Amino acid sequence: MVSNDVEKLHPGQGVYATHLNAQGKIVGQMTILAGADDIWLALETSNVKKLGEVLERMIVMEDVQSEDCSGKFESIAVIGPTSGAVLESWLGEPVRFGREFDHGEFQNWRIIRDELGYTVWADVSKSGTVLEGIKAAGAVEIDELTWNVVRTEAGLPIYGIDIDDTTTLPEIGEKGIRYDKGCYIGQEVVARIKYIGHVNRRFMGFITDGDKQPQPRSVVKSNGKDVGYITSSVVSPELGRAIALGFVNRVAAVSGAAVELVSGETSIASKVSELPFIPSATWSAD
């Protein structure tokens, strides 16, 4: 059902994966966490209902039950290079994960190691207490706008904003693809793209010449031609200028290539960038 290999996961391990349609387009992206006798899917709340209904229709003979738990838990992201130390101070015990998306239960809280640090799943009735405890251990609470800056600097797309069911999985890279696993929906398209050797467009970053943010759906132009569009933009304190995420055709998908980001009468000079903008070590919990 998904693009990554789940059967090889041991309890406490996880992977990033996508569910595709027959054309190789992304129906949903998720983190899959393996438990002893259950599997957790973590994804954007806005896409839970749609993906749940799609997967539910695929349960035919399997002895399995699915449940939407999005109303039961709050996800609290603890990010940054000291996130591990903060969590250990809060819990009073070590938090040691060997790989990305490893996870475990600590004093009734499930903690996941992810791209930016850690995520704590807290029961909604106790999430306020958990948040205050983590802040008392040394964390500083940030708002959604600041989190959006961090995830954009890290080059992480959000389903429904940056990617959707018009996006072919290889356009956002090979993360979440296992070419040696068994068949899954959309696999033929993904494999064909690999053997062709390229996609027609790529999900890339854009670094502007100043601090003016391009609007979502701004057109990316190269030598006067439309070559892509913008999906998200923020002003990066780290880089001191506006940055954006979006798609650009494979000819223009060259790091350092000069482009214009155009919306109406506004044109912003920019350069194409590989992702992430900021090395992952900036946010690593190691």
Domain C-terminal end among 122, 153, 184: 153
Share of the chain above pLDDT 90, in %: 88
Q: For residue 106, is it within any domain?
A: yes
Q: For residue 146, is it within any domain?
A: yes
Give the tokens for residue 256. 């350092």
Q: For residue 90, is it within any domain?
A: yes
H/E segment holding residue 121? strand 117-123
Residue 138 phi/psi, 5° resolution? 125, -5
In sign, the C-alpha dihedral spanning 121, 124, 126, 130 is: positive
Rounded to an integer, the average pLDDT of 121-127 is: 95
Q: For residue 251, is it within any domain?
A: yes
Domain that holds residue 124: 73-153
Number of domains making up the chain: 2
Residue 192 phi/psi, 5° resolution? -60, -40
In this predicted structure, the answer to whether residue 91 has a pLDDT above a threshold of 70 is: yes
Q: For residue 105, is it within any domain?
A: yes
Q: For residue 246, is it within any domain?
A: yes
In this predicted structure, the answer to whether residue 283 has a pLDDT above a threshold of 90 is: no
Both 144 and 206 in one domain: the answer is: no
**pLDDT 10s digits, 24-43:** 999 999 999 999 999 999 99
pLDDT band at 108 (very low <50, low <70, confident <90, very high): confident
The rounded distance, in Å, linking the Cα atoms of 230 and 263 is 10
Average pLDDT score over the chain: 94
Residue 12 phi/psi, 5° resolution? 95, -5
The count of C-alpha atoms lying within 13 angstroms of the C-alpha of 254, restricted to the half-sphere facing its C-beta, is 7
Q: What is the CATH number of the domain that holds 223?
A: 2.40.30.110
pLDDT score at 285: 53
Question: Considering the entire predicted model, what is its pTM?
Answer: 0.93
Please report, as a single letter, which amino acid is at residue 133. G
In this predicted structure, the answer to whether residue 269 has a pLDDT above a threshold of 80 is: yes
pLDDT score at 63: 83
The rounded distance, in Å, linking the Cα atoms of 133 and 205 is 36
What value, to the nearest 5°, has the Cα angle with vertex 184 and ends 180 and 186? 105
Q: For residue 130, is it within any domain?
A: yes
In this predicted structure, the answer to whether residue 222 has a pLDDT above a threshold of 60 is: yes
What value, to the nearest 5°, has the Cα angle with vertex 168 and ends 164 and 170? 125
Q: What length does the chain have?
A: 286
Q: For residue 121, is it within any domain?
A: yes
pLDDT score at 281: 53
The rounded distance, in Å, linking the Cα atoms of 15 and 262 is 37
Domain C-terminal end among 153, 178, 210: 153
Both 77 and 147 in one domain: the answer is: yes
Domain C-terminal end among 153, 168, 191: 153
